[in-house]
Amino acid sequence: MLRPVNNRLFTVAALLALLCACESGTAPKPSPRILFAAKMPSSWPHAVVAVADAPPRIIKVWLSRSTIAPGSTLDGAIATTSNVASVEVRTAAFSINSSHVAPGQFRFHTRVLELPPLARLHTYTLDVIARNTVGQAQVEQALLAMK
């Protein structure tokens, strides 16, 4: 005889399986190019000159914190080669397009809005993606905790 399915239990089980699937795999090896510190270093690298079609290169990344929560701010600076056209900072929960302030220099400032309950209390891979005008990309990764 078949028993009726408990919809609430089934829904919780499905959400847990989805959450586990989103973060399965190995953690990224922390990039030596990414620095977490409350203040941006006073000695910041200049852009390295590169021809337009050369592969993009990330030289240094500064992020103001390694843990975010609703209401907190996240600041960052990225130094790249001069041929980088855009830098995106991305996790599974959000994506930030950095402002291009000078050749090879990008900045961002964002206030963290309310996070979905299932996104909290997890550590995610943070991707810093530099792209040139040809579409080539370089990615540096770190871990970012959400509370």
The full set of domain ranges for the chain reads 27-146
Does residue 17 carry a pLDDT above 50? no
Mean pLDDT of 81-102: 94
pTM for the predicted model, two decimal places = 0.79
Cα 39 to chain center, whole Å?
18
- Write down the mean pLDDT value for the chain: 85
Range 27-146 has CATH code 2.60.40.1930? yes
C-alpha closest to that of 111 among 66, 74, 63: 74
Kind plus residue range of the DSSP H or E element containing 34: strand 34-36
**For 69-79, what is each residue's pLDDT tens digit?**
989 999 999 99
